[in-house]
Amino acid sequence: MKNKNKPSQNLIAWRFVLVCVMLVSVFVALIARAAYLQVIEPDKAREENAKRTVRKETLHVQRGMIYDRNGKELAVSVPVVSVYADPYALEKALKKRVLRQARKNREDHVALADNETALKVRTQALYQAQARWRELSDVLQLPTEQVNRKLRGNAKRRFVYLKRQVTPAVAKYIRQMRLPGIHLLDESKRFYPSGEIAAHVLGVTNIDGIGIEGIEKRFDSALTGTEGLRTIRKDAQGREVQVLSEEERVEPEDIHLSIDHRIQTIAYVALKSAVLTYQATSGSAMVVDVHTGEILAMVNSPSFNPNDMSTAAPYKRRNRAITDLFEPGSTLKPLAILAGLEYGAITADETIDTFPGWMRLGGSLVKDTRNHGEMSLREILKVSSNMGVAKISQKLPKDYFVGMYQKAGFGEDTGTMMIGESSGLFYPNRRWSDFEIATLSYGYAVSASTAQIARLYATIGAGGISRPLTILKQDEPQPGERIFKEEDTKAVIAMMESIFEKGGTASMIKVDGYRAAGKTGTSEKAIAGGYGDEYVGYFAGVAPVSDPRLAVVVMVNEPGGDVYYGGQTAGPVFAEIVSNSLRMLNVAPDKDRVAYVSGKNDDA
């Protein structure tokens, strides 16, 4: 019996040893594999694990808001949706459907999968047979060829925009279509509630939300902020289990402008009406607070709608108030008189003999429209006498006279920080002839922007203190530099009030409720070799005279027809802006006759 059981016991022992060896081998292999993955090549394992569990989330930020000085929104960001495609995912989905259909038709789908040419033909045929791609073109309002080119032009691409910033209704419809490889992306779009009224000040952003003009470009980095990034780990159910890293987003800044939207609207409506009425090429106007240098309004016509750039031609987008240069004409005559008073060559009660109404300087002629004879300084401004200011300019040293224009800000920018601002054309260090000095006194031999003239009148209104203009709201008045004596500026302001009197260049202009001091200006436009037959009309001034608060400048470029003088074209705009703006600011009327609007309680 012992001999019969011995082979069976040996067999059992052999099997036991074999099983043990196999188990040990398996464990050794597992240990070796684990050691290889964790010690010799751990990065690959981590990478594969990260692909399945680690996700990065972008913390988006909306572009900052732009407000006027009273907190009214001038530029806001609204959520929109863009449609994009993943051509690679689309190609993959089409191939999968072709192979599934082949398998259903009992074809050799394995061989078809290996035959790239045949598979490509079948895939394209399936794409063309599906009407939903043509439906996608229709709902996006894009040519079918353009959509096909983006979807099928390069099957290796992973991202291509189909259309940016579609309406919510379109986005909802596309989401319901459930098209393979078609996705929606949440974005934001800039919206400007004031439309064309403040377009030149605000500027615009491009479709990617980057500022390309105006305030949007000037303060682009502040308005943009910085997106944040969270790196997290998720489990198999998609639940967040660990935050690996987190970069906080930097919130954008909001910009508060000095613009008063109410005054901006008043100025724009009045200017646009004048440009249309007088068939002018263009126009611009500015309103400045003389106490702070803040720009309360900056308008241009023609303008454009920043919410619809399809009609925004380049000539409409130019901020003419700071870029376009013209010779200011008679609006600079108060500066010539100020220079004479400052130097002491004349006194406020002095008279100037302009007989016989003309004179020759260096072979060139300076003249008035007629002989005014002996005139006071007030009368010189009242009738806008070239002879009067020219004779005053000849009493002063040339360097001093030219230096006063330089101190007033001509030849340099006004400090607005606006993109594209011009410093004008003025060369104080060149040699000046007597005739050139005379022409400078009545606004020629210098080219300036509307903003530079506004700065001059803001200086006069501030009692001789010059401040840089600013487009940003100020908590405290900007520090200024006194360039004129206060008594001299007050005397000139009183003189400028005369233009509204009978016989003055603006006798037909009435500023309801307020005393205003102004100056008309009409300059011929320079052409090659001299001057042409086109004109620029100006009206500049300050109000109220009793305690100046606003400086207003209006420019009307190339008015058509026979009416082209500044008092006729720009004067009514000045009057409307001044009277309505001062009421908006609750400035008490300083004129005996005040216009009231009849109502239930006869409120002003």
Residue 30 makes CB contacts below 8 A (sequence gap 6+) with: none
Number of other CB atoms surrounding residue 353 within 10 Å: 12
- 458/548 Cα distance (integer angstroms): 9
End-to-end CA distance of the chain: 133
- 304/505 Cα distance (integer angstroms): 34
Classify 136 as helix, strand or coil. Answer: helix
Task: Label the pairing between strands 364-367 and 358-361.
Answer: antiparallel
> What is the 8-class DSSP label of residue 226?
B
Classify 565 as helix, strand or coil. Answer: coil
Which of 82, 330, 498, 581 is catalytic? The answer is 330
- 259/70 Cα distance (integer angstroms): 9
Q: Which helix (H) or strand (E) holds 121?
A: helix 116-129
Residue 162 makes CB contacts below 8 A (sequence gap 6+) with: 83, 84, 85, 136, 140, 142, 147, 150, 182
- 355/502 Cα distance (integer angstroms): 22
Phi, psi of 292 (to 5 degrees): -125, -15
- 253/215 Cα distance (integer angstroms): 13
- Is residue 518 within 8 A of residue 553, CB to CB? The reply is no
Q: Give catalytic status of residue 303 as yes or no.
A: no
Residue 284 makes CB contacts below 8 A (sequence gap 6+) with: 271, 298, 299, 300, 301, 320, 321, 324, 450, 554, 555
Residue 25 burial (CB < 10 Å; 0-12/13-18/19+)? exposed
- Is residue 510 within 8 A of residue 574, CB to CB? The reply is no
Number of other CB atoms surrounding residue 237 within 10 Å: 6
Classify 368 as helix, strand or coil. Answer: coil
Beta strands in 383-529 (DSSP E): 465-466, 481-482, 517-527
**Is the N-terminal amide bond of 428 cis, ω within 30° of 0?**
no
- Supply 578's token pair: 């001044």
Phi, psi of 339 (to 5 degrees): -60, -40
Classify 266 as helix, strand or coil. Answer: helix
Catalytically active residues are: 330
